[in-house]
A and B are shown apart, each in its own frame.
Chain A
Amino acid sequence: MAGPRSDHHVILRVVAKPLIPIIALFALYVHFHGDYSPGGGFQAGVIIVVAVVLYALVFGITPAMRAVPPVFARSLAALGFIIFAGVGVWALVMGGNFLDYDVLFNEEPGGHMGQHYGIIAVEVGVLFAVAGSMLSIFYAFAGRVTEIKDEDW
């Protein structure tokens, strides 16, 4: 693994740099197409993490952890879980069953806005949860010693 200032792997770094934002953008594409084509939060979450992992592989684990701190990854995972359950609670509050998207916006029968935005909101939760946990797992394996200080939790 090359350190940030080492001179070999120049080509690798030059090529990787523009790729990273494209990968992240592609993740969002996969995410927002998830409700009517293959894709969705899970795949998008993995792809977003690929961007971070690539950064960590090329520029080193420490800069990656500075850019996306482990505690952020952990919090993201929990936040995703809460968003998912939160959409369910929203449906409950609006008088439907748990996760019943039809009632989310009090639409007329036949309206599909609830189904459309409901699934995207849930998938955002999945995206966060998957990205957060994948990254936490990667960090846990890649930076075995120092990164999880007890204050980090």
Chain B
Amino acid sequence: MMDWILQIAPAFAEAHAPALLILLPMLAGPIAAFLPGGGRVAWIMTVVVTGLCTLLSLILLAQVRSIEGGAIISYAMGGWAPPHGIEFRIDALNVLILLLVSVIAFLTSIFGWPTIKAEIADGKRAMFFGAFQVCFMGLLGVAATGDAFNLFVFLELSSIATYVLVALGSGRDRRALPAAINYLLMGTIGASFYVVGVGFLYAATGTLNMADLAVQLQDVGGNRAVQVGFAFILVGLGLKAAMFPLHQWLPNAYSYSPSFVTAFLAATATKVAIYAMVRFLFSVFSLDFAFEGMSLALILAPMGIAAMLACSFQAIFQADIRRTLAYSSVAQVGYMLLGISLGTAAGVSAGMFHLVNHALMKGALFMAVAGAVLTYQGTRIHDFAGLGRRAPWTMTAFAIAGLSLIGVPLTAGFQSKFALVSALLESGWWWAALLVVFSSVLAVIYMGRILEAVFFRAPANPHKEHGEAPLLILVPLWILAIANIWVGVDGGFVYGLATDAAEALFIGGAS
């Protein structure tokens, strides 16, 4: 059904799509850092590069879907054949992540210019876009690579660029600096845990290629070194993914970084870490290992549920809208982990489906907040009072995404929560399904507080000017809002991608 893409795409792009996807931002990043013109040229370049990457991801998607059950595209870096060389390995699971990251990057970089002009100093904008491209490249690399150590390198590339991006929020709010340092410390601990885990696996098997690891691990079995490696990797990636007790870095990093960065990170960074976790849980390790089944049931599921409840409660008591949304992000990560912890194809596909939908809604929510902040400079709920009348387009999109976050029927959030609840019931976890519904009620409260202020309260300070966000913000914002409704009305396409992704893990098994 997507063969027409393969027909019009140039052969060169098709043959080298996995490498070009990384290469474009890799080249554009350092070049962008030098471009003059107060960042405007760098911005145009960023939009072009992220747009091209979106096209490349579409080509990859078409290639993967050209075969029933999903093709696996393997690209040998430097011509060194895997398992000895570094391999980029694209299957139905990570093509979904690649597409998500590049589409979100494209939309956020279109949206970014007005907010960056307002928040980042003149001379730093070109560097800012350079750092953004490196971050983007790292996230794509984590998703594309089939090499466990290479994944670490890309994870660090994206994280280090992220620390810089978060710290640049100090132009708007000085608290961005401690937030960035905090994130740096936590993120570095996460990355070192991951690399220690990979070290243990390497010691036990002598290979770093994930597909090869999966085969070798079958022989080594429940070796203690393998178990320790598993534990380190789970905790390391859990930190990056903001798994419940390890999420402390997230609220501050999201609240104080530049609006552009928040919108991009909220929709991509934790998602990529969750992808890596899923890849290790089901592709490298497998459910045959007793310790893995135990860790799913005893760690991921309780932590997911704890996140869902505790962080939703915390979200209710925040005065700052960006903090509310940040805590809600941790809660949503909980839903994904809960779906994954079922260890069934239905559970994982519900998790992946929610992952995509959450990117759509959080992207839209943070964009709308950025639009409002741009014209008003306040992020407290109090500041948003009466904004529905002054900026109806911005706030309607905000409301759509907010309803989607709650899980109101006909929105994306409903579809994925429905998939999650069905998967839970299928496995007999009716109590967890009840908790999902309860947590959605909490979401009604925290989003309801904001929406009530926006639409029904009088403006807090009638003398201060509110206005509609500029068109550059409104267009990507509405694309995301409409995507929320589209997935909500006809979730077939995205749900199909998520199901394919989960099946690639379970049917493709170890390969």
Which A residues are closer than 8 A to B by beta carbons? 75, 77-79, 81-82, 85-86, 88-89, 91-92, 96-103, 150-151, 153
Which chain B residue lies CB-closest to A150?
Answer: B123
Are B79 and A85 in contact, with the CB atoms below 8 A?
Answer: no
The A-B contact count (CB < 8 A) is 59
> Distance in Å from the Cβ of A136 to the closest Cβ of chain B?
12
Are B124 and A150 in contact, with the CB atoms below 8 A?
Answer: yes
Contact of B79 among A77, A96, A153 (CB under 8 A): A96
Are A100 and B23 in contact, with the CB atoms below 8 A?
Answer: no
Are B79 and A97 in contact, with the CB atoms below 8 A?
Answer: yes
Given contacts A78-B34, A92-B16, A97-B19, contact A153 B123 (CB under 8 A): yes
Residues in B with CB closer than 8 Å to A103 are 79
B184 CB-CB contact with A under 8 Å: no
Which chain B residue lies CB-closest to A122?
Answer: B78
Can you identify 14 A-B contacts, CB atoms within 8 angstroms?
Answer: A78-B33, A81-B29, A82-B27, A85-B23, A88-B19, A89-B23, A92-B16, A92-B19, A97-B19, A97-B79, A101-B79, A150-B121, A150-B123, A153-B126
B-side binding surface: helix, strand, loop or mixed? helix
Given contacts A97-B19, A153-B124, contact A82 B75 (CB under 8 A): no
Are B76 and A97 in contact, with the CB atoms below 8 A?
Answer: yes
* Cα distance, A94 to B412, chains bound together (Å): 46
* Cα distance, A100 to B85, chains bound together (Å): 11
Residues in B with CB closer than 8 Å to A97 are 16, 19, 75-79
Given contacts A150-B122, A150-B123, A153-B123, contact A81 B30 (CB under 8 A): yes
Are A102 and B79 in contact, with the CB atoms below 8 A?
Answer: yes
Closest A-B pairs by Cβ, 8 of them: A100-B79, A78-B30, A150-B123, A98-B19, A99-B78, A81-B30, A153-B123, A85-B27
Residues in B with CB closer than 8 Å to A96 are 79
> Distance in Å from the Cβ of B152 to the closest Cβ of chain A?
16
For chain B, give the interface size range: 20 to 34
Given A85-B23, A100-B78, 12 more pairs with CB closer than 8 A: A78-B30, A78-B31, A82-B27, A82-B31, A85-B26, A96-B79, A97-B76, A97-B78, A97-B79, A99-B78, A102-B79, A153-B123
> Distance in Å from the Cβ of B121 to the closest Cβ of chain A?
6
Most buried by A among B23, B26, B79, B123: B79
Which B residues are closer than 8 A to A by beta carbons? 16, 19-20, 23, 26-27, 29-31, 33-34, 75-79, 121-124, 126-127, 130
Which chain B residue lies CB-closest to A93?
Answer: B12
Which chain A residue lies CB-closest to B34?
Answer: A78
* Cα distance, A41 to B427, chains bound together (Å): 54
Residues in B with CB closer than 8 Å to A150 are 121-124
Residues in A with CB closer than 8 Å to B16 are 92, 97-98
A-side binding surface: helix, strand, loop or mixed? helix
* Cα distance, A85 to B133, chains bound together (Å): 14
Given contacts A78-B30, A82-B30, A88-B23, contact A151 B123 (CB under 8 A): yes
* Cα distance, A16 to B402, chains bound together (Å): 65
Which chain B residue lies CB-closest to A152?
Answer: B123
* Cα distance, A89 to B19, chains bound together (Å): 10
* Cα distance, A79 to B16, chains bound together (Å): 24
* Cα distance, A79 to B29, chains bound together (Å): 11
* Cα distance, A92 to B77, chains bound together (Å): 11
> Distance in Å from the Cβ of A25 to the closest Cβ of chain B?
28
Residues in B with CB closer than 8 Å to A81 are 26, 29-30
Which chain A residue lies CB-closest to B32?
Answer: A78
Residues in B with CB closer than 8 Å to A153 are 123-124, 126-127
Residues in B with CB closer than 8 Å to A92 are 16, 19-20, 23
* Cα distance, A68 to B122, chains bound together (Å): 25
Are A98 and B78 in contact, with the CB atoms below 8 A?
Answer: yes
* Cα distance, A103 to B124, chains bound together (Å): 39
Residues in B with CB closer than 8 Å to A89 are 23, 27
> Distance in Å from the Cβ of A89 to the closest Cβ of chain B?
7
Residues in B with CB closer than 8 Å to A100 are 78-79
Residues in A with CB closer than 8 Å to B124 are 150, 153
* Cα distance, A97 to B88, chains bound together (Å): 11
* Cα distance, A85 to B78, chains bound together (Å): 12
Which chain A residue lies CB-closest to B22?
Answer: A98
Are B30 and A79 in contact, with the CB atoms below 8 A?
Answer: yes
Are A75 and B23 in contact, with the CB atoms below 8 A?
Answer: no
* Cα distance, A86 to B126, chains bound together (Å): 21
Residues in B with CB closer than 8 Å to A99 are 77-79
* Cα distance, A92 to B16, chains bound together (Å): 8
Residues in B with CB closer than 8 Å to A91 are 78
* Cα distance, A65 to B26, chains bound together (Å): 29
Which chain B residue lies CB-closest to A80?
Answer: B30
Residues in A with CB closer than 8 Å to B26 are 81, 85
Which chain A residue lies CB-closest to B25?
Answer: A85
Residues in A with CB closer than 8 Å to B29 are 81
* Cα distance, A89 to B122, chains bound together (Å): 32
> Distance in Å from the Cβ of A147 to the closest Cβ of chain B?
14
Are A101 and B122 in contact, with the CB atoms below 8 A?
Answer: no
> Distance in Å from the Cβ of A50 to the closest Cβ of chain B?
23
> Distance in Å from the Cβ of A69 to the closest Cβ of chain B?
15
Given contacts A97-B75, A102-B79, A151-B123, contact A75 B34 (CB under 8 A): yes
> Distance in Å from the Cβ of B410 to the closest Cβ of chain A?
44
